Amino acid sequence: MFIDDLAFELLTMSLAALMILYMTLGIYVGYRRNGDKDIEGHLKPGMAPLTLLGVVMLALGLYGEFVWPLPGAFNILYYDMYTLVAIVVLAFAITIRLGYKMQYVGLFAAYSGVMAIYYGFRAYQLSLIGSTTLELFLMFLAFGATGIMSYPVTLIIDRIPQRGNPKWIGWTIILVIFWIAVLGAMIASGYIGFDAVFSHLASPP
């Protein structure tokens, strides 16, 4: 039986991007305003919703990998990347909970980001989904850039508590690029997701 959860899955990706954006902005604002280096204190409140979101996303991603509910090659294009995004989100939440260094999750996210850009580029070349091909490519590009920039950002997060006066000028540039990528990923997946909600409600599968 065909079950189309694509709209909901896209919106969970947008929500995950929103959570990451909010949490990292909180770290930066807290540090800039009063030198607050309690990174764990800023991240822990977001751990519970991130964990729940990661579990739901991983379950949906694995379902898609095993069942192939979407037509044709779109199962490969979408569910490979969706599952990896779910793993990154869940790994980030677990890392916060256990107090481990963030850079290892960042490295995983960076490689996943390279994969996302490659998948999106190939899909664009092949025009896999017609009129929405460009929007899909931009979404993959934004999530790919987010993943790649996650590595230097997690290095920054790991080093803040250990340094009395980190050089925030260069780091701010990295963070701004990261935030632009996350914002782009949130908007792109949200736009496609809400558009899919409308079309699915108007004409249920």
Q: Hey, where are the domains in the chain?
A: 6-202
CATH value of 6-202 in 1.20.5, 1.10.20, 1.25.40, 3.30.70: 1.25.40
Taking the CB of residue 162, how many other CB atoms lie within 10 A of it? 8
Cβ(154)–Cβ(106) below 8 Å: yes
pLDDT at 61 over 50: yes
Question: What pLDDT shows up at residue 70?
Answer: 81
Tokens of 49: 């919703």
Q: Could you report the per-residue pLDDT of 158-187, keeping only the tens digit for each?
A: 887 665 555 557 888 999 999 999 999 999
Question: What pLDDT shows up at residue 2?
Answer: 42
Cβ(46)–Cβ(19) below 8 Å: yes
pLDDT at 26 over 70: yes
**DSSP-assigned letters across all residues of 131-189:** GGHHHHHHHHHHHHHHHHHHHHHHHHHHHGGG-SS--HHHHHHHHHHHHHHHHHHHHHH
Question: What pLDDT shows up at residue 205?
Answer: 61
pLDDT at 131 over 80: no
Cα separation, 37 vs 45, whole angstroms: 16
- The residue with tokens 């969706």 is 82
Percent of the chain with pLDDT over 70: 89
Question: What pLDDT shows up at residue 168?
Answer: 58
Q: Could you report the per-residue pLDDT of 4-20, keeping only the tens digit for each?
A: 688 899 999 999 999 99
Cα separation, 136 vs 155, whole angstroms: 29
Question: What pLDDT shows up at residue 123?
Answer: 86
